[in-house]
Structures are given as structure tokens and as C-alpha cells.
Amino acid sequence: MAQIRLDHVSVAFPIYDASSRSLKKRMLGAATGGRIQSESGPSVVQALDDVTLHFQHGDRVGLVGHNGAGKTTLLRVLAGIYEPGNGTVQVDGHIAPLFDIALGMDPESTGYENIVLRGLYLGLSHDEIRERMSEIAEFTELGGFLDLPIRTYSAGMRMRLAFAVSTSIHPDILLLDEGIGAGDAAFLEKANRRLQEFTNRAAIIVLASHSEQLVTQMCPTSVLMEHGRVIRVGDTEDILARYRRRVARGLV
Amino acid sequence: MDTAPTSRSWLLDQFRAAANRKQFLLALRDLGDGARRWQLWGYMGLHEIRQRYRRSVIGPLWITLSMGITVSALGVLYGAILKVEVAGYLPFLTAGFVIWGLLANLITDGTRVFTAVEGFIRQMPAPLSVHVYRLVWSNLIIFGHNLLVFVAIALWFGLNPGWSALMAVPGLLLLIANGLWLTLLLGLLSARFRDVPLITGSVVQVLFFITPVIWQPEMLPGRPLLLVGNPFYQLLEVVRGPLLGHVPPLETWLVVAVFTVVGWALALLFFTAYRWRLSYWV
């Protein structure tokens, strides 16, 4: 049974500018009794503040909120990339993250090589990748392009590739961030069908997006986030209406 | 988003907060899980080399060729400067250069081991140690190509190290063990302090000159401490000695063993305290 449980999770980012990253500063700080340090120590951005959420089998959840509300950070916490400073994260199930598609791919390598690389990263073995290669290649509809370095690809083409590999591992939990919009209509339709298959197998999908249409279409439930806090969890319709009101009133 | 300045001992607080048993076990698990992902780092390492020499006619043999040219030129020149016989000097220089190349690359590349792959780290969850193994592995591939030069020169000059050459295997394993902790520690520190790669670069350069790679240890009379106390010389010697046909003395192995244990303890300490911060730093 796939499930996600977050308990009072907080994530704070230290912000190092070029000078506080340097050793000189640190040593000067030590030599002057730390005055310099205390005046310009790293600032901390509270990206998630006391977040408690519980998702279970079959949940399709949209994350709604302004830029910087903590949606991406939350997804990265769910993926296990960021370990929170406070609180506990419990995730049962195999996760496939699908975040910023520009990252995590080697632009100089061919499509096929990137499929292997990504597959291995997601925990597949060479044998398993070989088994799925034709299926993945077919799903991407990239044909001869798979032999070219992916620096020649458009954003949409990269998206197809990443999506095809990430979903081919049959994950229990799929984490999607923004970029999913970067496909043409026909591909989105196809991707949606594929996502539908997951839901039928009672997986969890968490989607962060600014596209109200996409969230409404895919997620019956949504989480409204603001300044790293969860404002409300509820019906997507209700949450989106609330979000629009807050935006209109200038609260975010 | 709220921003707030924090106290000057912030990093120390972090250290104290995270240097506990639970984080230690997580750090060990990261290293273990990372090792088990050999298909991933094996592919990444190999692919990196293949990528670098893609579309060149002789491919990775360029590594071999350029090492061959370097040691031939240096061998003849320094053989004349130092007034030593080329037949004895060139194999010594080649072995030294090849092994030093491995060690120095591990150290300098090690500083970028995490920062160079920040995209991967922030995109997909995987044990962080995967990148350490990848780096050591790709440098071993390069080392393999360079070793061919030594083999060729040894054959040319009829150098027969005999059975003692087998001792180069445990020597190399020790070198790898040290390469792993050096990469882990320097990679971690460099992600946080961006001066570390720059400092490391110049330190490695100095080490090259004070370590007998080009000059022979016998040429430095009356300064044994500079040799015995230089762990990088000892690391070099546990592989070079056997390749040239003489097993290094016990003292050498002891220094290397101590260096390995102390280094790993230090790297583990830092990895325990800062492993979970790394994805925030890169």
C-alpha cells in the first residue's frame, strides 16, 4: 500500500552568497571574535514551515500556490532529495520524480543513452532497461531522434523522453512538477492516459502546477500552499476558488 | 518566504545537531547503497570517458598517447639534468607519473564530485556516494590506459619486477581506499566552501614537487622526515615499488594504513554531519 505521511515537516535553506561561502570570511570571523560572522551569517529561507499532510492509495493531489510557496520544495522532500530539518517523512512505495526536465539529463548524450542513464538512476538494471527499451522508445514517438544528442531536442521532446522513462518503472508514487505542460496536445493526451493507468492501479500522484486546467483535470484534491505553510486541503474546485480570491485580495 | 539572520555558530550547531548515531547509520547506509548501485556508477563512469573522446579517431588511446609523449620527453630531459641512466630512470619516472596522475586527479576532480552533478542530485533521489564511486571508477579507467605506457616501457628496457609486482595489487587497493575518502571529504567541503577546490589545486601542485615523482628519493640525503612523513609519497610507493620490483618496507605500509584509517574516520565524521545538507548546498 502506497502512502505518504508528513509530520510537522520544516525545511530551511541557508542562503550563501559568494562571500559567505568563502573560507576567508570564516577565518576572519574567527580572528575577530566572530563579529563579522554574526553580522552577516547565512540568512535562512523558511521554505516549508510545519507541514503536516497525509496522502494514501489512490490520491491524486494538486499543489496550488504562488511562486515560492514551497511546492517544489515539498516535492523534493517527498522524493527524498531534501531531508527536512525538523519533522518526519514517511513514504511507502516506489517513487518516480519528474521535475525540472532540464536537469538530470546529459545534453551531449543521445536519447538512447539518456534512457539508460535515467533508467539506472531510477533503480532499473541494464537487463530491465533493455527489456523496456522498445516500449519506451515507442512511447516517446521520437523515432530517429533517439540517436541524436538531446541538446538537439526541444523542451517538449525532452519532456517526452523523461516522462516515458519515469513512468516505465511502474512507480507507486509519481511526483510531477510544472514542466509537464511542455508537451504538445496530442502527447499530453497520451500522457494523461498513461497516468490514468497508474491511478487505476491505485498509485499516488502529486502534481505541482500553475495550470488550473491541468490540476482540475487530474486532481480531485488539492493543497493550497503559501509561504511554506499549508493553508488548506480540500476539493480542487474549492481550493482554486480560494486561491483566486486570495490572489485578488493581494494576500499572496 | 521569511528570511532571518542566524547566529555565527550556525554551522557548528548544525554539526552538533547532526553528528549522532542515527545520522552515522544513514551515512553508512548511503555508502553501502551507493556501492550496490554499481550498474549506475559503472555506466556513468564509462560513459563519461566515452563521451570525452567521442568522434576522435583513436578515442581514449589519446590518454595513453599523451602520457607516452610526456614521460618520454621528461625522461630524456630530466635523465640528462639529474645525470642518471635512462634505462633505470625512465621506468621509475613512468610508474611515478602514472600513479601520481591517478592520485592527483582523484583529489582535484574530487573537489567537484558533487557540484558538477548538482542537476542530478536535485532531480533524482539516489545515494550520494554513487558520485564518489563514479569518479574513482572513471579515474581507474584512465589509469588503466596510462598503465599501458608503463608496460611498454618496462618491456622496452627489459625490466622484470618478478613476483613482487603482485604486491602492487594490495597497494592499488589501498590507494583506491584513500581515493574514496579523499573524494568524499573534499567533495563535501567544496560544496559548502567554494574556495576549497582552488586551495586544493595549488596544494596538489606543491605536493607534486615535494614528492619524489620526477626526482628519486635517494637524491635527497639526510631529510628522511620529508619522505617518511609525506603520506602521498608512501601512497605512491605502495604501488610504484612493487611495479619496479621492490616491495616497500613495513614502515611504508604502516604509514599508509594509518593515513587510510584517520582519513576515513574524518570523512565519515563529516559525511555523518553534513550528508543531508549536501543537496541544499550544491
Does residue B131 sit within a domain? yes
Looking at residues A13-39, what average pLDDT do you find? 58
Q: Are B204 and B108 in contact, with CB atoms under 8 Å apart?
A: yes
> Residue A35's pLDDT is what?
41
Q: A37, B126: Cβ pair inside 8 Å? A: no
**How many domains does chain B fold into?**
1
Residue of B nearest to A25 (CA): B193
> Residue B100's pLDDT is what?
96
Residue type, B171: G
Q: B124, A121: Cβ pair inside 8 Å? A: yes
Does residue B155 sit within a domain? yes
Q: A99, B279: Cβ pair inside 8 Å? A: no
Looking at residues A208-223, what average pLDDT do you find? 86
Closest-CA distance, A177 to chain B, in angstroms, reads 11
> Residue B249's pLDDT is what?
92
pLDDT exceeds cutoff 80 at A29: no
Confidence of residue B1 (pLDDT cuts 50, 70, 90): very low
Strand partners, B190: none
Q: Are A222 and A240 in contact, with CB atoms under 8 Å apart?
A: yes
Mean pLDDT of chain B: 90
Q: A81, B124: Cβ pair inside 8 Å? A: yes
Query: Helix A155-168 vs helix A126-140: angle between axes, to the nearest 10 degrees?
Result: 140
Compute the half-sphere exposure of residue B140: CA atoms within 13 Å on the CB side of its CA: 17
- The B-side interface with A (CB below 8 A) comprises 1-10, 37, 39-40, 43-44, 47, 51, 54, 119-126, 192-196, 199, 276, 279-281
Taking CA atoms, A12 is separated from A9, A99, A127, B115, B164, in Å, by 10, 20, 40, 20, 56
Interface test with B, best of A21, A105, A169 (most B CBs within 10 A): A21
pLDDT exceeds cutoff 90 at B33: yes
Does residue B2 sit within a domain? no
Q: Is A54 helix (H, G, I), strand (E, B) or coil?
A: strand
Contacts of A83 in chain B (CB under 8 A): 276, 279
Confidence of residue A224 (pLDDT cuts 50, 70, 90): very high
Q: Are B187 and B110 in contact, with CB atoms under 8 Å apart?
A: yes
Contacts of A21 in chain B (CB under 8 A): 192-195
Lowest mean pLDDT among A71-75, A169-173, B169-173: A169-173
Does residue B55 sit within a domain? no
Lowest mean pLDDT among B9-13, B46-50, B152-156: B9-13
Give the whole-number percent of chain B exceeding pLDDT 70: 93
pLDDT exceeds cutoff 70 at B230: yes
More confident residue, A247 or B150: B150
Radius of gyration from C-alpha coordinates of chain B? 21
> Residue A26's pLDDT is what?
64
- Residue spans of the domains in chain A: they are 3-10+52-248
Q: Are A175 and A169 in contact, with CB atoms under 8 Å apart?
A: no
List pLDDT tens digits, range A114-139.
999 999 988 899 999 999 999 999 98
Looking at residues A224-240, what average pLDDT do you find? 91
Q: Give me the domain span that covers residue B235.
A: 24-46+71-281
> Could you tell me how far CA A72 lies from the centroid of its own chain?
6
Does residue B104 sit within a domain? yes
Inform me whether the C-beta atom of residue A15 falls under 8 Å from chain B C-beta atoms. yes
Q: B39, A126: Cβ pair inside 8 Å? A: yes
**Sheet containing A221-226: which strands, arranged edge to edge?**
A95-98, A173-177, A204-208, A60-65, A221-226, A229-235
Q: Tell me the fold of A3-10+52-248.
A: Rossmann fold (3.40.50)
Q: Which of A43-52, B40-49, B215-224 has the highest mean pLDDT?
A: B40-49
- The ipTM (two decimal places) reads 0.82
Looking at residues A97-102, what average pLDDT do you find? 75
pTM recorded for the entire structure: 0.87
Task: Please give the angle made by the CA atoms of A52, A57 and A59, to the nearest 5 degrees.
Answer: 65
pLDDT exceeds cutoff 70 at A33: no
pLDDT exceeds cutoff 70 at A47: yes
Q: Are A147 and A169 in contact, with CB atoms under 8 Å apart?
A: no
More confident residue, A176 or B101: B101
Give the whole-number percent of chain A exceeding pLDDT 70: 82
Q: B119, A103: Cβ pair inside 8 Å? A: yes
